């Protein structure tokens, strides 16, 4: 049985059980799978970031993770070169009130299921009550499923992948009872770099940003510059600070994306407007880390946090080893990002 038939059978079961919203998403995924059978995969674009490797995926019913209450449904947004698949976690009881939405952008070679397992974001969403959207990069756009953060046509509002993810976010918001004041975006590595771009380009849509092991918006506009930025840190940003609340996690033993890039993400948010409070957090059951809190000098608001995790590699801090690129010894990046996000609902813009 091919993917199209499996997804259509799953949609039938959902319909019979009265889960019409999930059934619709499964049908959309099935149509996307049917189209994929007829498409040829074009040769490679630029390949950067981590090396590709096969990720074993547990066998499960299409569109649903049986280990998690709530629903984890498949869907798609857009068409043609602008089309992307996604997974959406819907917590139990959704529809009774407006809930936050967290958009999670995976790293190279990852996919939504792998990223959800590694970050444990769906477990957090079950416990705290919010939606999680996982856009999936396509192999047609990048053969290692990297978000194309380093290309000039994917770095602006209304253009390329930022526009694709923003439109997907809006579509999910239109279909589900989501609080528009509490929509957030986070990502790892190439996904972290794209999250930084989205925060800068769409401050009216995303209330706060989480960048894990990523780079600042505009860190590079071509492949050679991207490789240089990843090895040694991009030049410090020269654009005015965008001011979107931002939390950064980065390991100081990261040999894939230089830790200096985390400092540049913070600088792109705060500029010179903030004072810094530094806290040394000793190890124990987790890695030691240095946490810097950036406070707006004008009104005392926390505008950014920078967590430098000592000894951590290119991996999601505090992540679950069931997913790729995780460091279970680090402090819990998922919990800290959520704390930071929910402390920062959307503010009126000047």
pLDDT of residue 88: 98
Provide the greatest CA pair distance for the chain.
62
Please report, for residues 9, 173, 175, 261, the alpha-carbon distance to residue 24 in angstroms, rounded to integers and kept in the order given.
Answer: 12, 16, 11, 41
Contacts of 132 by beta carbon, 8 Å cutoff, 6+ apart: 88, 89, 101, 102, 103, 104, 116, 121, 122, 125
**Which residue shows structure tokens 């500029």?**
271
Q: What is the pLDDT of residues 144-169, one digit of tens each?
A: 999 999 999 999 999 999 999 999 99
Residue 122 clears pLDDT 80, i.e. is over it: yes
What are the C-alpha distances in Å from 96 to residues 93, 129, 178? 6, 11, 11
Strands 84-90, 131-135: pairing kind: antiparallel
Would the pLDDT of 286 be above 90? no
Report the chain's mean pLDDT, rounded to a whole number. 83
- 210 phi and psi angles, rounded to 5 deg: -120, 125
pLDDT of residue 5: 54
Answer yes or no: is pLDDT of 259 > 60. yes
Question: Which is higher by pLDDT, 87 or 51?
Answer: 87
Q: Which CATH architecture has domain 44-51+58-342?
A: 3-Layer(aba) Sandwich (3.40)
Question: pLDDT tens digits, residue range 14-55?
Answer: 555 554 555 555 555 544 444 433 333 233 344 445 443 333
85 pairs with which residues across the strands? Answer: 76
CA distance 62 to 12: 12
Radius of gyration of the chain (CA): 19
- Is 217 within 8 Å of 240 (Cβ atoms)? no
Please say whether the beta carbons of 303 and 296 come within 8 A.
yes
- Predicted confidence at residue 276, as pLDDT, reads 79
According to the model, what pLDDT value does residue 65 have? Answer: 44
Residue 25's pLDDT is: 52
Q: Is 143 helix (H, G, I), strand (E, B) or coil?
A: coil
Q: Which two tokens stand for residue 256?
A: 């894939």
| Tokens, residue 126 | 């079950």
Confidence tier at 347 by pLDDT (50, 70, 90): confident
User: 178-194: per-residue pLDDT in tens?
Assistant: 999 999 999 999 999 99
Contacts of 16 (CB under 8 A, 6+ apart): none
pLDDT class for 10, splitting at 50, 70, 90?
low
Tokens of 19: 């889960």
Q: Percentage of the chain surpassing pLDDT 90? A: 65
Here the tokens at position 286 are 């987790």
Between 86 and 39, the higher pLDDT residue: 86
Cβ(279)–Cβ(293) under 8 Å? yes
What are 234-257's pLDDT values in tens digits? Answer: 666 667 788 899 999 999 999 999
- What's the pLDDT at 279? 81
Q: Helix, strand, coil proportions of the chain in percent (round to 5)? A: 35, 20, 45
Query: What pLDDT score does 99 carry?
Result: 97
C-alpha 234/C-alpha 229 separation (Å) is 4
């Amino acid at each position: 049985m091919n993917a199209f038939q499996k997804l259509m059978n799953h949609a039938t079961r959902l319909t019979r059980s009265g889960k019409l919203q999930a059934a619709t998403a499964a049908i959309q995924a099935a149509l996307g799978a049917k189209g994929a059978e007829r498409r040829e995969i074009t040769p490679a674009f630029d390949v950067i970031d981590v090396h590709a490797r096969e990720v074993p995926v547990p066998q499960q019913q299409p569109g649903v993770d049986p280990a998690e209450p709530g629903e984890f449904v498949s869907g798609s947004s857009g068409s043609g070169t602008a089309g992307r698949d996604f997974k959406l976690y819907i917590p139990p009881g959704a529809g009774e009130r407006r809930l936050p939405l967290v958009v999670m952008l995976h790293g190279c070679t990852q996919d939504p299921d792998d990223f959800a397992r590694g970050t444990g974001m769906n477990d957090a969403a079950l416990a705290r009550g919010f939606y999680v959207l996982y856009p999936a990069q396509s192999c047609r756009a990048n053969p290692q499923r990297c978000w194309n953060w380093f290309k000039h046509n994917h770095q602006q509002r209304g253009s390329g992948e930022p526009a694709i993810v923003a439109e997907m976010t809006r579509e999910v918001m239109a279909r589900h009872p989501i609080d528009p004041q509490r929509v957030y975006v986070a990502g790892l590595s190439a996904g972290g770099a794209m999250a930084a771009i989205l925060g800068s380009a769409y401050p009216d849509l995303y209330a706060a940003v989480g960048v894990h092991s990523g780079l600042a918006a505009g860190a590079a506009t071509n492949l050679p510059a991207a490789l240089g930025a990843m090895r040694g840190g991009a030049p410090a940003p020269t654009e005015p600070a965008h001011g979107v609340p931002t939390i950064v996690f980065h390991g100081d033993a990261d040999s894939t994306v230089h830790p200096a890039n985390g400092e540049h993400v913070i600088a792109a948010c705060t500029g010179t407007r903030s004072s810094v409070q530094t806290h040394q957090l000793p190890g124990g059951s987790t890695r030691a880390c240095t946490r810097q809190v950036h406070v707006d000098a004008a009104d005392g608001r926390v505008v950014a946090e920078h967590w430098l995790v000592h000894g951590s590699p290119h991996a999601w801090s505090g992540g679950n080893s069931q997913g790729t690129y995780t460091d279970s010894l680090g402090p819990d990046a998922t919990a800290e990002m959520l704390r930071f996000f929910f402390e920062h609902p959307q503010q009126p813009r000047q």
